[in-house]
Chain A
Amino acid sequence: MPVPTIADPPQPASAKPQGQPSQKSMTKAERRELQERQRAAKAALKGQPQQQGKKDPSQGKQQPSVGGTPGAQTKTKPPPTPQKKAFGGDIQGARQASASKDTGTGVIAEDAMAKQVSHGLRIFSHFGQPKPVSHTVKGDIHPEIIRLALLFSEFKISGANARCIAMLTAFKQVIQDYTTPSHNTLSRHLMTHLSPQITHLVSARPMSVTMGNAIRELKVEISNMDIDMVEQDAKDALCLKIDNYIRDRIIIADEVIEENAGNKIKDGDVILTYAKSSVVEKVLLAAHSERKKISVIIIDSKPLLEGKVLLKSLTSGPSPIPCTYALLPALPSLLNQVSMVLVGAHALFSNGAVYSRAGTAMVSMMAKARNVPVLVCCETYKFSDGVMVDGFSKNELAPTTVIQKYTHLENLPSSIEKLNPLYDLTPPTYITAVVTEVGLIPPSSISSIPLALGKTSL
């Protein structure tokens, strides 16, 4: 199957009238008129079936066309263009300019946004501003990856496990569609083919620790491939390795964690959890299905209000778990009835610090202050070798478009800077134990786990 990419020559915008005067010399009314004409032409174009893989640049700005897969196209809605914000009042003009001048103005708009940010404090500058979804694809990117990148950037797929599984599944497709060029071997060349794919994914949303760990593992597997192996066999072998990785390190690991954490849950326990973690959800549902009488307090907070999703899944079904739902500031009033705090993790650093959804640190802190045990459910593949000392040095900001979608709150004047960090770091002192598939470990012993699992070098 030929891989359709943006590298194909783009079709010239048919809607653009020939010999049009320069934008600046036109009056406002003229511009508006021109824009109306362009819109009409575009609407007409949209009616026709689009040529596969070829992108109309004027349309590419508004609607990400995803490698000619109509299913995905309906699923990924066009995100509100960030240019709207940057240009404030003259939205119309801005959009028109970006529509007619190919890619140039898009860059200018991003620059304008970056400049706005730089008015703020310099200490926040390292967060970087969440990048708008870039539809300009550089290089040879597999459509599956382009699709995945869009899903990532719009938070359709979020959560460390989900993103890692989605990435590995996409890589399987990429590997199957790969052909080794002549005068090269798969074990040497495949990684150079994968790196731009990874770069593209990272440009959509910063890479999670889980993804990094999986990619590292994959690299080792690729370089260990026998040179003499038939190409299709090698690909199949790699796909099998990926499947095994997903099964062993994520799915089975979750089942073991479910059991380990379940052992700590007694009848009558009130379990408090924060936001949503897929593992915690499984633990709670499993405990409930074992007919343990538990009740759950779900604490939630902006920016993503993910707890509502957990609330839905716990209360749906024939026998709902008794749940209490509250926002983060209400936590201290609820803590005195809690027997255990159960939270998930995004990553675990070797000093025992837990990098998790923003707010987890406060929940653990308050629980520790009231002597409520805090259990963190975390698979060992989320362990990171590094050490992090606070949640400020490395973080990710949630893009405003995503936040608006999740919280339905009215717009604020743009003069206020909004910071929406997605993660924070829970110091190891607040954590009673980490529940992993190799048992319950105190956070101080985290550093020894990778070695115990057979990792030879630090």
Chain B
Amino acid sequence: MLVNQEKCIGCGICIPYCPAQAISITGRKAAIDQAECLECGNCLRRDVVPCPTGAFYEKEGIYEEPRGIRRFFSDPTTTHAVTQVPGRGTEEVKTNDVTGRVCRGEIGVAVEMGRPCMGTDMAEFEKMTMALAKIGVVFEEANPLTQLLADKSTGVIDPKYKNEKLVSAIIEFTAPIDQMPLIMATVTEVAKSLNTVFSLDLIGCFEEDGSLPVLPMLEAIGLKPRVNSKVNLGMGRPYRIIRQ
């Protein structure tokens, strides 16, 4: 984003709204640090940031690569061309009863890099994707981050994106349930070397009797889910829960 210096009156009302702290007052006008700006669009929304003069505007070519990935991943009002899902998102458990992305006997894993609050650059993603590729993880095709990999078998990010930063993005994959301990050990080991944070998600399917096989497995490796979760009620059609 950019600030029209003619319009800006330097009131500073916009400053606390920026999740990246990229806005400052310089010479009595607001200025945006372009290296830190994640193009989330917060400052541009006049129904969010009450800029009295509407001084914010989009830079020309903001949707073009490589910087365009900041916009697509950080602003949920945009729609990704491959996934047809807004922003950084994927449909994961939200439509899992219809897509069958994760079926019985499998787990779905999401590593949400940069979330919460800290954001992340591509070097941090690569630490995680390379470690996961080494243990044979196959990254989800219908995920926008997978589209940024130059080599899906090694987890190497396309070099043209190396200088980009995002509010957050999700490394996502499905695996057989018996691989869960190895995957969790890998992810938690990489966590020790990161310069950012991530939120960790695990999807599992319920059995006919209502049990959740992944729960005792998590307990066995010392991981306890938080009390609140996201449950797919199975109301979607056509219904899929068994891998064909």
Q: Do A and B bind each other?
A: no
